């Protein structure tokens, strides 16, 4: 059954109102609403988010909105694929209940919006360095979606690791009563993390693209299996960057952080990753496509 599509805020709120406070079983369990925010052009990774949402809620709303406030000057806002009909057909296969596909005017009566949701220091690294203002744009659109849908659960992919961390911070700091679920990265058979921007890759680039994940896997294994001096650690990073660059990528960043995106330096000079959960994060251009990936590592 195809999900019901709403384009305006009031109609969606009216449709969701009957579920609030309703009981749906003999034990008196309250019905729960889940939100899966997307920019559309859906792939199997998005569909997996919906499947996870269905496990945690009775009603699933998928938002499809190419958000102008998170695109910078010269980025691909105008060319970003808009494929609503195809997206709705895909969502029908995973039993999504509602699609919220608002216009820019509906979401932003004034653009740029005079109200800001600032993400703070966590946003001033990694993607935030090369995309200034990006996460503030993410913050305001997610805050708006949370206010519009008022979900009990929201599901985001871990491929955008920094974004997920910022959304968890937003929920904590603004006291949203929402359970944020981070869904594991969905990959193609050759390891490439699924992304709407993968379609920018040429046929030859698509053959090269899995090198990104392979390089992270090898770096993760080296971090887990070797007692590292600072010099050895630095060499591992240099070697990994060289492998990625030699494959044809232009690296935006390759960094290792704690799983909460803090520094792995125990002070200004000392390297220490023992007994830490850490994450390797990379962003790199391959032709027109900016690819993200990450790898969690437990170092004992």
- Per residue in 222-274, pLDDT (tens digit) is 888 666 677 888 899 999 999 999 999 999 999 999 998 988 865 545 556 66
Record the pTM: 0.92
Please identify, among 113, 148, 183, the residue that sits at the C-terminal boundary of a domain. Answer: 183
Same domain as 122, residue 12: yes
Q: Which residues participate in the annotated binding site for beta-alanine?
A: 70
Please identify, among 137, 162, 183, the residue that sits at the C-terminal boundary of a domain. Answer: 183
Same domain as 229, residue 136: no
Of the residues 46, 56, 134, 213, only one is catalytic, namely 46
What pLDDT is recorded for position 226? 62
Same domain as 214, residue 134: no
Q: Are 299 and 221 in contact (CB under 8 A)?
A: no
Closest CA to 156 of 133, 132, 181: 181
Tokens 């990265």 label which residue? 185
Same domain as 283, residue 148: no
Q: Which residues participate in the annotated binding site for ATP?
A: 39-46, 157-160, 186, 194-197
Q: Is 134 a catalytic residue?
A: no
Same domain as 163, residue 18: yes
244: left (phi over 0), alpha (psi -120 to 50) or beta: alpha
DSSP category for residue 30? B
CATH number, domain containing residue 219: 3.30.1300.10
- Domains identified in the chain, total number: 2
What pLDDT is recorded for position 224? 81
Inter-CA distances, 58 with 7, 97, 152, Å: 22, 9, 10
Same domain as 217, residue 171: no
The low-confidence residues of the chain, meaning pLDDT below 70, are: 22-29, 225-228, 265-275, 300
Same domain as 162, residue 25: yes
Same domain as 129, residue 33: yes
Inter-CA distances, 210 with 96, 126, 224, 235, 250, Å: 31, 21, 22, 22, 14
What pLDDT is recorded for position 26? 57
In a domain, 283, yes or no: yes
What pLDDT is recorded for position 60? 98
Same domain as 71, residue 205: no
In a domain, 156, yes or no: yes
In a domain, 190, yes or no: no
Same domain as 119, residue 28: yes
Task: Judge residue 219's burial from the number of C-beta atoms within 10 Å of its C-beta, 0-12 exposed, 13-18 middle, 19 or more buried.
Answer: buried
In a domain, 143, yes or no: yes
Backbone φ and ψ for 260, nearest 5 degrees, come out as: -100, 15
What pLDDT is recorded for position 83? 96
CATH number, domain containing residue 33: 3.40.50.620
Q: Are 228 and 261 in contact (CB under 8 A)?
A: no
Burial 255-268 (b: 16+ CB within 10 A, else e): bbbeeebeebeeee
In a domain, 178, yes or no: yes
Q: Which residues participate in the annotated binding site?
A: 39-46, 70, 157-160, 163, 186, 194-197
Q: What share of the chain is helix, strand, coil (3-state, %, to 5)?
A: 40, 20, 40
Closest CA to 119 of 166, 68, 163: 166
In a domain, 188, yes or no: no
What pLDDT is recorded for position 227? 66
What pLDDT is recorded for position 233? 84
Domain limits for position 262: 196-299
In a domain, 139, yes or no: yes
Same domain as 204, residue 173: no
What pLDDT is recorded for position 231? 82
Same domain as 8, residue 125: yes
């Amino acid at each position: 059954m195809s999900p019901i599509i709403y384009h305006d805020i009031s109609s969606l709120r009216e449709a969701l109102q009957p579920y609030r406070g309703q009981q749906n079983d003999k034990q008196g369990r309250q019905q729960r609403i889940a939100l899966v925010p997307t920019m559309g052009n859906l792939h199997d990774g998005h569909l997996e988010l919906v499947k996870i949402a269905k496990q945690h809620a009775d009603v699933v709303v998928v938002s499809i909105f190419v958000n102008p406030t998170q695109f910078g000057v010269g980025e691909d806002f105008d060319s970003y694929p808009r494929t609503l009909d195809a997206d709705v057909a895909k969502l029908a296969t995973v039993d999504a209940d509602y699609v919220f596909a608002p216009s820019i005017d509906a979401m932003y009566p004034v653009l740029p919006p005079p109200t800001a949701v600032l993400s703070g220091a966590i946003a001033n690294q990694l993607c935030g360095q090369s995309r200034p203002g990006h996460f503030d744009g993410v913050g305001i659109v997610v805050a708006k979606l949370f206010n519009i849908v008022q979900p009990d659960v929201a599901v985001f992919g871990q491929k955008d690791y920094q974004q997920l961390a910022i959304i968890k911070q937003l929920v904590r700091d603004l006291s949203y009563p929402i359970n944020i679920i981070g869904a594991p990265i969905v990959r193609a058979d050759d390891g490439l993390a699924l992304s709407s921007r993968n379609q920018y890759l040429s046929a030859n680039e698509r053959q090269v693209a899995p090198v990104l994940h392979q390089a992270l896997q090898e770096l993760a294994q080296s971090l887990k299996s070797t007692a590292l001096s600072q010099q050895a650690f630095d060499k591992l990073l240099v070697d990994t960057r060289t492998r990625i660059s030699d494959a044809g990528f232009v690296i935006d960043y390759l960094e290792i952080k704690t799983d909460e995106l803090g520094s792995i330096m125990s002070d200004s000079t000392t390297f220490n990753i023992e007994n830490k959960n850490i994450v390797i994060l990379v962003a790199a251009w391959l032709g027109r496509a900016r690819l993200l990936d990450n790898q969690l590592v437990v170092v004992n």
